[in-house]
Structure 1
Amino acid sequence: MNQIEEWMNGRIGLNFRSGLDRMKQAVSLLGRPDKAYPILHVTGTNGKGSTIAFMRQLLMAHGKKVGTFTSPHMISIHDRICIGDKPISDEDFTRIGQEVQQMEQTLLQTQDQLSYFEIICLMALLYFKEQAVDVVLLEVGIGGLLDTTNVVTGEIAVITSVGLDHQETLGGTIAEIAQQKAGIFKEGKKAVVGPLPAEAAAICQEKAEQLAVDLHAFRKDFGLKQDRFWNENVELVLPSLGLKGDYQRENAAVALEAFLLYMEGQPQAVDLDLIQLALQETRWPGRLELVGDQLYLDGAHNPHAMVRLIEFAKSLDGKRVKILFGALKRKDYSGMLETLQAGLPEAELMLTTFHYGEVVAQGDRQDLPYVADYKAYIQEFMARRHPDEVLFVTGSLYFIAEVRACLLEG
């Protein structure tokens, strides 16, 4: 771990502070690097990472130099800041981090210390300017309206989905959460929203009208008809996608609509063959990621996402389903477990723990079998390789990252 990571890790507890004044001043002191490129600003309860993965592949296939800022990371913090599919180098990470560190000395004259997420976001904005990217895909951390990233003006705002998650920060109802998500809409710009609950869709529509936003809504302005994507200008067959799960077709549709809107302002023509190839080649770690042929890693970290996992598991006819679950205590882990139990009553559901902050432990759900050593359990499962069994490792994305790192090391 280099000194910049150590500095950042000392700021983890500063996350979840209200207000954007500190971040606004920070980007100003850095010379507003976010003004150097167009931004597609992406939020949603679930599907943000997958949608960004589809968009990145679509843009890269059309020759664009794409910067992506996503979180959390699966292997290294460097993975959060990428040019194309290449993470920022350790040398550049340190150098850009030192630039933010030096700026903070001035910032501290009027503001509090920067948080971990604020630092990494500022580093990304600086790096993308330095690398002269064509376009940036910027993922919201939590919510939208008050999120650290919302100091930028996105040419296109994207809302992938709205469900109950982070209620302690965003509010306890779909309507309240939708207000937060729609907070990334910018006056006179464009927005794409995925399949939302009716009340969330109405709030997005109202917000778009207030800000004269050109809103493109799933089912109304674009959508899916069996195996075909459609909007007012094009209809094309979706290929077999590089990401598993039927719900990824919805994420692909949202990504495709946002991509096509962006390309309307480009001199380059859209190539339908390249679109097909890009969607087939899209990959995103930890989202129904198949390891071998019987183990899936899926960071389905809220009840809404668990419903999607259940749908996929049910499509695996004739397979005995096992589920190894690890989560953070601050999340709605009971809701996730209850969703799994109701949706897959025949599955073997087991609780485990991992090394990240305050996690769900054996005593928190004594009604479930407990696996003390998930590494040994996974190794034994993969060694036995009963052809009629499939194992889902799920829960926190931090858990998935830890498991994935162990599997890669092995």
Structure 2
Amino acid sequence: MTYEEAVHTVDSLQRFVRRPGLERIERLLAEMGNPHKALRFVHVAGTNGKGSVSEMIAKVLERAGYRTGLFISPHVTDFCERIQVNGIPIPHGDLTELVEEYLPLIRRLEASGIQVTEFEWITALGFEWFRRQDCQLVVLEVGLGGRFDATNIIDAPLVSVITSISLDHTAVLGDSIEQIAFEKSGIMKQGGICVCYPDQPRAALNMLKITAEVMKNRFVIAGLNDLMLVEASIDGTQLLWKNGIPVRVAMAGEHQMKNAATALSVIEELRGLGWQISDRAVQEGIAAARLPARLEVLSRSPVVLLDGAHNPDGIRVLARAVKKQVTHKRIVGLTGMMRDKDVDSAVRELDGIFSSVVTVAPNGPRALPAEELAQYWEKRRIPAQPAANVEEGLRLALVKAGGEPLLICGSLYLAGDIRPLVFQELERKKTKEN
């Protein structure tokens, strides 16, 4: 089996099931010897910011000398990004061997009527890799929701974390903030510690507090009072932490200050549990935390920015950051979205950002056709031109930008498709000019 065949095999499993629950992942892990039982976790749920907060926590733990696992989803450019140890994704060959080893088990369970989902298998493979790698602590990002998410099979984590909550995946999680907060609060375990993002909607915060009380959790709202903003730009954010300790967040946007506050509160809780984490490890870890497609600067000449925000709240945060930190009057947009997202709200949030837009359809059956997306922009009187594919869209957008900033956004799937193409196209243009 090749690596590509291994990834295809995992992807071929069904994505969702009619009846959510943890019975399938429980049976699968039991057959694998319960690798998750050998691990300790920080468990991270939320609508937006899960990846950034998880990355910050993991990097700080790495710098503190701990062998640290990181489980995130989805990936942007390579499937193996989902399962990392000390910042290194599981090698292609090792993932392939794990898939080959456990594929007979998956087929045996299917034959007995247990349909393991794609994410459940990925989660189980992650647990097994972290066990084999002797990870001392795993930062575990929830895939969807929390209560019935496959990652919630774990026993009580050292710390549960709830990042920013807003409306997304409403068909699965519910169409109100209270319902979504209830689903995400399901990662709290009896007698645990829960750290909460500092700027939650009131309805979400009330639900989280109720769950924390029922589960007898110590509920900690991450404090912004411990942080002071010094400087913010597309190059990142400079902060002072506690008693004047300088901390630099490499990822741009004022929301990253709130994500950093959440991560730092988690670190403080781990310190209280006896984990040895120095201030220097905190400084180095937060500065080293980077994720692709989080207002990522792909190029400076011309300026090309990439962001994977795909729900109204995430795009609202993106728009605010761009307005504050990109001072050019003229910005060209390259956008692509999935049809099951709130496209109208997303476009409305970006109103006033772009002088013109090129639309594309990301790869995949859920993609909104470029022509339909262009109509959303035209309704807001923003000139929009649909492109036949992502490659054509990128070339067209770079021409339209003509040296002015280009912002690519709307979907992590689009980010994954286009990120390597941007580097290739800019290198091609540079070679041609020379």
TM-score by length of 1: 0.91
The whole-number CA distance in structure 2 between the counterparts of 1:386 and 1:363 is 23
Cα gap change, 1:237 to 1:314, in 2 (>3 Å): farther
Counterpart selection for 2:222 from 210, 218, 223: 218
Identify the range of structure 1 (324-333 vs 99-108) with the bigger mean alpha-carbon deviation.
Answer: 99-108
Counterparts of 1:12 and 1:407 in 2: how far apart (Å)? 32
Query: 1:249 is matched with which residue?
Result: 257
Q: Which secondary structure does the structure 2 equivalent of 1:312 belong to?
A: helix
Q: What does the per-residue CA deviation read over 1:325-349, in whole Å, with 9 as the maximum and x for residues that have no partner?
A: 10111111222112212xx266434
Q: Please say if 1:155 is aligned against 2:158.
A: yes
Residue number in structure 2 paired with 1:133: 135
CA distance, structure 1, for counterparts of residue 147 and residue 321 of structure 2:
32
- 1:214-241 C-alpha deviation (Å, 9 max, x unpaired): 1111349x754545677xxx54545331
2:203 to 191, 199, 221: 199
**Structure 2, unaligned stretches of length 5 or more?**
231-238, 426-434
1:403 to 2:418 alignment: yes
Q: Indicate the percent of aligned positions where both proteins have the same amino acid.
A: 28
1:6-58: CA deviations, max 9, x gaps? 32222144457522211111112222211112111111110011111111111
2:428 alignment counterpart: none
The answer as to whether partners of 1:100 and 1:119 remain within 8 angstroms in 2 is no
Q: Distance in 2 between matches of 1:16 and 1:5?
A: 24
Who is 2:369 aligned against?
Answer: 361
Partner in structure 2 of residue 209 of structure 1: 213
**Number of the residue aligned with 1:333:** 343
Give SS of 1:310's match.
helix
In structure 2, distance between residues paired with 1:15 and 1:94:
25
- Work out the CA distance in 1 between the residues paired with 2:252 and 2:48: 15
Structure 1 spans left out of the alignment, 5+ residues: none
8 Å Cα contact 1:9-1:116 kept in structure 2: yes
| 64, 67, 92: which one aligns with 1:65 | 67
Structure 2 equivalent of residue 187 of structure 1? 190
Which segment is superposed worse, 162-171 or 148-157? 148-157
May I ask how many residue pairs the two structures share in their alignment? 402
Question: Cα RMSD over matched residues?
Answer: 2.3
**Partners of 1:409 and 1:179 in 2: CA distance:** 44
Equivalent position of 1:175 in the other structure: 178
Report what 2:35 is aligned to.
33
Per-residue CA deviations over 1:130-149 (Å, capped at 9, x if unaligned) read: 11001101111111111121
Does 1:310 find its partner at 2:319? yes
Q: Is the 8 A contact 1:313 1:321 kept in 2?
A: no
Q: 1:362 to 1:407 in 2, by over 3 A?
A: closer
AA aligned to 1:158 is V
- For 2:401 and 2:269, the matched residues in 1 are separated by 46
Q: Could you say which residue in structure 1 is the equivalent of 2:81?
A: 79
CA contact (8 A) 1:15 1:116 kept: no
User: CA separation in 1, counterparts of 2:402 and 2:8?
Assistant: 44
Match of 1:92 in 2: 94
Residue 125 of structure 1 aligns to a residue in which SS?
helix
Contact 2:60–2:286 under 8 Å retained in 1: yes
Distance 2:153 2:227 in 1: 33
Matching of residue 393 in structure 1 with residue 408 in structure 2: yes
Q: Alignment partner for residue 299 of structure 1, among 298, 301, 308? A: 308
TM-superposed deviation, 1:386? 4.9
The change in CA–CA distance for 1:259 and 1:16 in structure 2 (over 3 A counts) is farther
State which drifts further: 55-64 or 90-99: 90-99
Task: Specify whether residues 16 and 68 from structure 1 end up closer, same or farther in structure 2 by C-alpha distance, changes over 3 A only.
Answer: farther
